[in-house]
Amino acid sequence: MAKEPKDFSYFQGKIVPSKEANVNVQTNALQYGTAVFGGIRGYYNKDLENVFIFRISDHYKRLTNSAKMLQLGFDKSVEELTEITLNLVRECGYLENIYIRPFVYVSSYALSPKLHDLETDFAIYILKLDDYIDTKRGLTTLISSWRRIDDNIIPAISKASGGYLNSALAKSEALQAGCDEAIFLDSRGFVAEGSAENIFMVRDGNIITPPISASILEGITRKSIIELARGLGFTVIERDILRTELYVSDEVFFSGTGAQVAWVKEIDNRKIGNGNIGPITKTLQDIFFNIVKNKEEKFKHWLTPVY
Ligand code: PMP
């Protein structure tokens, strides 16, 4: 039997047992969400006895950019961050699917909600994670009554912790209404994204997804799906989407590090397509799962082996 991995985190510049990675109650980020975070997956391939981290450089580029947007003091390079992460996963000894959560937070006890010239810390914890939302059955969804945060309110593209109150409102609303997930409209009323995933629809064989100007996070899975689909000869269009177009689309699916590629069966009580996974979604989902497990030669450059 595989050995149980050790529960370590990276905290205040070193690897420590997770139970010792605690912040003080006065921490500024705890009051105001003054932090930015990432979410990275590592996939275990049993045959190769290795864990492959998906697009780690892209994730750390985004984290660095998020910190820059919010003026959080953070000077680690992508290479340094990658090295810290690999060392942590190795030290824990994971041989399963994992989710890596790095974040930069205002560790200062400053009372005021501000961002610049405050002490920050960089931390990482790791969880075992298979599906975050079901990828096998179709998801039921609703259009949230909460609008996606606008770039001039809290930049959705920054993956700012405080902005996730917006996601939490929508997710709770969806779950409490008996649905699996919420779909946000942006402040203009166009489709934006899910609470923690980007959205795609298929109409007449074309794959369509909202542009980054629709207050979405620039998803790394989204970018991967676009590249992948275009490589397979599909037309992928980034344009504004009406909620009613979703209702009459042939297929709808989510993409995200947590969500991976998850298909939508229902939106606001309307069945999408014939209520089964659509052929284009199925094709992309199958290839995506092969890629992340290092079974697609052409996409090996998206993966970083841990061991
Ligand atoms: N949108 C939001 C709001 C998210 O939190 C996430 C998850 N990071 C995504 C989209 C998907 O982005 P990615 O593919 O980079 O995980």
pLDDT digits (tens, 9 = 90+) for 148-165: 999 999 999 999 999 999
Instruction: Report the percent of the chain where pLDDT is more than 90.
Output: 98
Is the pLDDT assigned to residue 99 strictly greater than 80?
yes
Tell me what pLDDT residue 3 has: 81
**DSSP 3-state assignment of 55?**
coil
Distance CA(156)–CA(259), nearest Å, equals 18
Question: What's the predicted TM-score (pTM) here?
Answer: 0.97
> Which residue, judged by its Cα, is nearest atom 5 of ligand 1?
196
Among 57, 181, 257, say which to mutate for ligand 1: greatest number of ligand atoms within 8 Å of CB.
Answer: 257
Q: Answer for the pair 44, 97: CB distance below 8 angstroms, yes or no.
A: yes
Alpha-carbon distance 221 to 193, whole Å?
13
pLDDT at 1: 54
CB 142 within 8 A of CB 182: yes
Is pLDDT at 2 greater than 90 in this prediction?
no
Digit-coded pLDDT (tens) for 253-274: 999 999 999 999 999 999 999 9
Estimate to the nearest angstrom the gap between the alpha carbon of 155 and the chain centroid: 15
Site to probe by mutation for ligand 1, drawn from 37, 161, 197, 228 as the one with most ligand atoms within 8 Å of Cβ, is 197
pLDDT in tens, 231-242: 999 999 999 999
